[in-house]
Amino acid sequence: MSERGLPLIELRGVGKRYGNGETAFNALHRINLKIYNKEFVAIMGPSGSGKSTCMNIIGALDTPSWGEYLFSGCHVEHFTRDQRALLRRKYLGFVFQGFNLLARTSALENVELPLLYRGETASVRKELALAALDKVGLSRWKDHTPAELSGGQQQRVAIARAIVTRPKLLLADEPTGSLDSQRSVEIMELLQQLNEEDGITVVLVTHEPEMAKYAKGVIRFVDGSVESDSRSFTEDEK
């Protein structure tokens, strides 16, 4: 067995097909992929390469048409819809290009939202949300609505919301796509900090090489397949 233990994520021959008959389209072709605990991995590739489809399967937002998806050794491809929702709620955090914040609620209330779904008490929600906002440097803006925050600040709120449940895995899909270069660097440094200091596994989907440099390895997709993987593995880890 690998010195790093079981992979946190393992895809075995995973494929994804959309449509039927003559309109069928294979977005992924038998992907084999391992991501270990506390890694920071960037997934890159041109539009239509399958990188976002792969991200959706890893995030249990979609299911493979064939193959196996293991999360900490559990076969997610056999999960029911409710079980996939529970996996997302307990172990995964999501950050997207669009901040997806509730417009009329404060930063604090936006960050509390995942805890509300988990049934936490109001006092626990507030305590954990304040800690998450402090982690991303926004404690002073806790009462501000999204309209009162800059784009970079809104993305920080979105990251705080993603980490408030203390996930094992943070999935970031083009998180800097709507930001200028300075704000993009701030967000990438924050993701790097969460990985190195908090031990959160980060999978980043990006088309920007400058952003991918913050990751410790780059997996490149082309035409629904893994073209290259810059990470080095021992024989047991492959």
Model confidence band, residue 1 (pLDDT cutoffs 50, 70, 90): very low
Q: Would residue 109 count as lying in a domain?
A: yes
**pLDDT higher at 235 or 105:** 105
Domain coverage including residue 191: 9-229
With 80 as the cut, is the pLDDT of residue 4 above it? no
Element (H, E) at 190: helix 181-198
pLDDT at residue 219 is higher than 60: yes
In a domain, 237, yes or no: no
Per-residue pLDDT of 200-211, as tens digits, reads 999 999 999 999
Read off the CATH number of the domain in which 118 is found: 3.40.50.300
Return the pLDDT at 238.
Answer: 65
Query: Quick one: pLDDT at residue 37?
Result: 96
Confidence check: pLDDT of 232 > 90? no
> Cα 21 to the chain's mean position, in Å?
32
Q: 233: pLDDT confidence band, cut at 50, 70 and 90?
A: confident
Residue partners of 62: CB distance under 8 A and separation at least 6: 16, 53, 56
Please say whether the beta carbons of 186 and 8 come within 8 A: no
Q: Which is more confidently placed, 2 or 221?
A: 221
- Domain for residue 236, yes or no? no
Token reading at 179 = 């930001």
Residue 56 lies in a domain: yes
Note the pLDDT of residue 181.
Answer: 93
> What predicted TM-score, i.e. pTM, was given to this entire model?
0.92
At 10-51, the pLDDT tens digits run: 999 999 999 988 889 999 999 999 999 999 999 999 999 999
In a domain, 3, yes or no: no
Count of structural domains within the chain: 1
Task: List helix spans (H) across 16-168.
Answer: 51-58, 81-91, 107-117, 122-135, 151-163
Is residue 216 in some structural domain? Answer: yes
Is pLDDT above 70 for 80?
yes
Q: Does residue 4 lie in a domain region?
A: no
